[in-house]
Amino acid sequence: YIHSSKHLRQVGWIGDPVEKLEPHLYADSDFAGCAESQRSTSGAHLNIEGPNSRFPIIGRSTRQGCVSCSTPEAEIVAGFMAYKNILVPTYDIWDALLPKGYKSHFHEDNQAMIRVITTGRNPTMRHLGRVHRVAIAWLYERLGNPDTRDRCEWQDTASEAMAADIYTKHFTDAEKWSAVTRLIGLTDPDNILQ
């Protein structure tokens, strides 16, 4: 793959004033994606976006440390990793570069995960703290509780628009591969100039 894709480039564009730019974090996972270990993969992608802008900042793919028992569990682990390790550390930069009052956006495509974070309740996965070191209470405090949450809004995003998909799954269909590479701005420079 590397030998056949060295000509590809990741590109971004900014076509809006700074007042219209906001960070958008996409988090996704595959459930039991490794056939051997049955462990899932967490993926995250951070863009700066506006009505006419989409500029990639960081992408990350990492194998989860333990076996997840369900898709919502794998998604919660991926969301925790993405928010804690990618979006939170960048808030200092966005505070300096973006106007006061900007919002960040957290894109997720799993309804059960969104429900757990917005309610702070997760009676079926009490083991998350011990097994994955994920604190639902912390996620609820930062993302779900209207009184304490960060300047971050949830966005229920269709799977076809999930930019983090490319970091978690393998693709055998050329059309789907082309679609996910476009979501992160990976393109052939020869196609841009045509």
| pLDDT tens digit sequence for 100-117 | 999 999 998 888 888 888
- Separation between Cα atoms, residue 123 and residue 94, nearest integer Å: 35
For 156-183, what is the mean pLDDT?
Answer: 88
- Amino acid making up residue 186: L
Mean pLDDT value of segment 112-138:
77
Q: Give CA–CA dist 110/53, Å, rounded.
A: 26
**pLDDT at residue 170 in the model:** 82
Judge whether residue 191 has pLDDT over 80.
no
The confidence band for 33, taking pLDDT boundaries of 50, 70 and 90, is low
Rounded to 10 deg, the angle between the 71-82 and 111-119 helix axes is 60
Does the structure show a pLDDT above 60 at 193?
A: no
Say yes or no to pLDDT of 194 above 60: no
Structure tokens at 166: 């490319």
